[in-house]
Copies of this chain bind each other. A is one copy, B any other.
């Protein structure tokens, strides 16, 4: 299999654990290697325990590993908590001033060396350099990255970092660790990004111009990206007073004519649900990303879950068409987010995207570079596209259920929009007939929407055992399937990104003929399995569920499947 090694860096919050992971990843990228990183941290700013796991390979990898080759322990707790994970032959570099330690622990005084180089803050660079040296990375690569990174800063900062790198490298000289045999000679440099970045970029690819948000982990990253890019795009990012405001702001912006986004987590989404209904009845396109975390209420604020599926499907009183997507890879997230803007605009409905902490905070290598769409066209009309703008009816009853949408104050067309049940002209009504007509008109959109839904995708579609998954577990399930097959199990999987309108016929086709269906979900009640049964009558035989706030490891799924699910 060539190169496939895993490093875990652990320590306290505030020690820059993440930075080590990112620096290592940047070097690997430079060398043409693939990486996959996960980010585990507590709901605090300093202290406690956090870790970053980076998997490095010469082929695409999209799942964390439960065993590691190299453990970099910035504190004793890390060694204690992760020692078990070390593979035979694995090594642990432990921050320690002691000269000796028991195999496989090698004491390295990271912080002392950092201070020698200029300060505690350089411990990250020391550790990164030490790790790279152990991995046999060609010299100078880290320096190249550091040069790039500190381009804007004072030369002292760069110099200190280079010193730190040198000290780190020196500290591990003589330690043997040949987990990566030969580094590729500068391979193709592929994009690396976190899930959150893929979503933010996807929003721009969907021509998002206004984003409002209220900070909430794990959604905040998406918005911080967009905030940073405001200078470079026609884009305004506004921090709202609360989630209710955020959701209503994007409705206002969309009504006025620009594509708009908000992102939050389940608790914030609760506060947005009334506005989702407003978007539904007023037929205002909006996109909302719900980055899931364990609940209920505050739950585990910095951890992962897939337990808001039914919440987003049924958020808001009464019924109206909406889209629900759950991408499973950065490529899918980028494309799906852009598509969500487009589909929301086409059908004038809310589009809801489900991701989670695991996805948002994980680092991926992309095989192919993401492409900016050549053109993004809005679907609004103006005076010129109408015979008589003064006859404009915002909610004209049409066969498709879609009424041409104009923007206010752009001409003679008066755009009258209403969250009460309304007549075609936008004025409220008490009429039973019009009410039924408007519900039916809105519901008619579902036909078109359903035709735009993509079927589930997967591997080994004819396999006897078929794993079903949705959202962020794609990579883990795919790897689990390969492991199962390597063990001689005839397994395959189907992953659902497009969830609502439910691609029922496609699901039935994809799942037909299986001997055993197993639903893999990060929740405790198998929500997707319930939806599948509700929509198709298909009852899955087993479920593999995890709801402790940590991501799945492929082997957990393998083991559960071997035990016939639970």
Listed in ascending order, the chain A residues whose CB lies under 8 Å from chain B are 42-43, 48, 244, 265-267, 269-271, 273-274, 276-278, 280-282, 292-301, 303, 305, 307-308, 310-311, 313-320, 419-421, 430, 432-433, 435-436, 439-440, 443, 523-525, 527, 530-531, 533-534, 537, 539, 547-550
Contact across chains for B314 and A435 when beta carbons are under 8 A apart: no
Contact across chains for A281 and B300 when beta carbons are under 8 A apart: no
Cβ contacts under 8 Å, A307 to chain B: 317-319
In the complex, A270 Cα to B301 Cα: how many Å? 22
- Residue on B with the closest CB to A266? B317
In the complex, A307 Cα to B435 Cα: how many Å? 14
Cβ contacts under 8 Å, A440 to chain B: 524
- Residue on B with the closest CB to A547? B439
CB distance from A189 to the nearest CB of B (A): 36
Q: Besides A433-B548, A439-B524, 11 other CB < 8 A contacts?
A: A266-B316, A292-B317, A294-B318, A299-B317, A311-B314, A311-B317, A318-B523, A319-B525, A435-B548, A435-B549, A439-B547
CB distance from A28 to the nearest CB of B (A): 29
In the complex, A530 Cα to B433 Cα: how many Å? 26
In the complex, A298 Cα to B276 Cα: how many Å? 12
Contact across chains for B267 and A295 when beta carbons are under 8 A apart: no
Closest 7 CB pairs of A and B: A266-B317, A295-B318, A277-B296, A297-B419, A270-B274, A534-B534, A432-B548
Contact partner of A295 (CB less than 8 A), chosen from B42, B277, B299, is B277
Contact across chains for B267 and A296 when beta carbons are under 8 A apart: no
Cβ contacts under 8 Å, A534 to chain B: 530-531, 533-534
In the complex, A539 Cα to B533 Cα: how many Å? 10
Cβ contacts under 8 Å, A419 to chain B: 296-299
CB distance from A124 to the nearest CB of B (A): 23
CB distance from A268 to the nearest CB of B (A): 8
- Count chain B CB atoms within 10 A of each CB in A278, A281, A295, A550 and give the residue with the most: A295
Cβ contacts under 8 Å, A270 to chain B: 270, 273-274, 277, 315-317
Contact across chains for A265 and B295 when beta carbons are under 8 A apart: no
Contact across chains for A435 and B300 when beta carbons are under 8 A apart: yes
Contact across chains for B300 and A274 when beta carbons are under 8 A apart: no
In the complex, A297 Cα to B315 Cα: how many Å? 11
Cβ contacts under 8 Å, A550 to chain B: 432
Contact partner of A278 (CB less than 8 A), chosen from B276, B297, B443, is B297
Contact across chains for B435 and A547 when beta carbons are under 8 A apart: yes
Contact across chains for B318 and A420 when beta carbons are under 8 A apart: no
Contact across chains for B315 and A524 when beta carbons are under 8 A apart: no
Once A311-B314, A430-B43 are accepted as A-B contacts, the answer to whether A420 and B537 lie under 8 Å apart by CB is no
Contact across chains for A320 and B301 when beta carbons are under 8 A apart: no
Cβ contacts under 8 Å, A523 to chain B: 318-319
In the complex, A308 Cα to B299 Cα: how many Å? 25
Cβ contacts under 8 Å, A435 to chain B: 294, 300, 547-549
Contact across chains for B269 and A271 when beta carbons are under 8 A apart: no
Contact across chains for B547 and A267 when beta carbons are under 8 A apart: no
Contact across chains for A267 and B271 when beta carbons are under 8 A apart: no
Contact across chains for A311 and B305 when beta carbons are under 8 A apart: no
Contact across chains for A296 and B319 when beta carbons are under 8 A apart: yes
Contact partner of A317 (CB less than 8 A), chosen from B269, B317, B320, B421, is B269
CB distance from A337 to the nearest CB of B (A): 21
In the complex, A277 Cα to B316 Cα: how many Å? 16
Contact partner of A296 (CB less than 8 A), chosen from B281, B311, B524, B531, is B281
In the complex, A276 Cα to B297 Cα: how many Å? 8
Contact across chains for A432 and B317 when beta carbons are under 8 A apart: no
> Could you show 23 A-B contacts with beta carbons less than 8 Å apart?
A42-B430, A270-B315, A271-B271, A280-B296, A281-B296, A292-B317, A294-B318, A295-B317, A297-B316, A297-B420, A298-B419, A300-B420, A303-B430, A307-B317, A307-B318, A308-B318, A311-B316, A319-B524, A435-B547, A435-B549, A439-B547, A531-B534, A537-B539
Contact across chains for B317 and A314 when beta carbons are under 8 A apart: no
In the complex, A436 Cα to B294 Cα: how many Å? 11
Contact across chains for A314 and B318 when beta carbons are under 8 A apart: no
CB distance from A21 to the nearest CB of B (A): 20
In the complex, A557 Cα to B360 Cα: how many Å? 50
Contact across chains for B297 and A274 when beta carbons are under 8 A apart: yes
Contact across chains for B548 and A436 when beta carbons are under 8 A apart: yes
Contact partner of A297 (CB less than 8 A), chosen from B282, B293, B436, B439, is B282
CB distance from A215 to the nearest CB of B (A): 16
Cβ contacts under 8 Å, A524 to chain B: 319, 439-440, 443
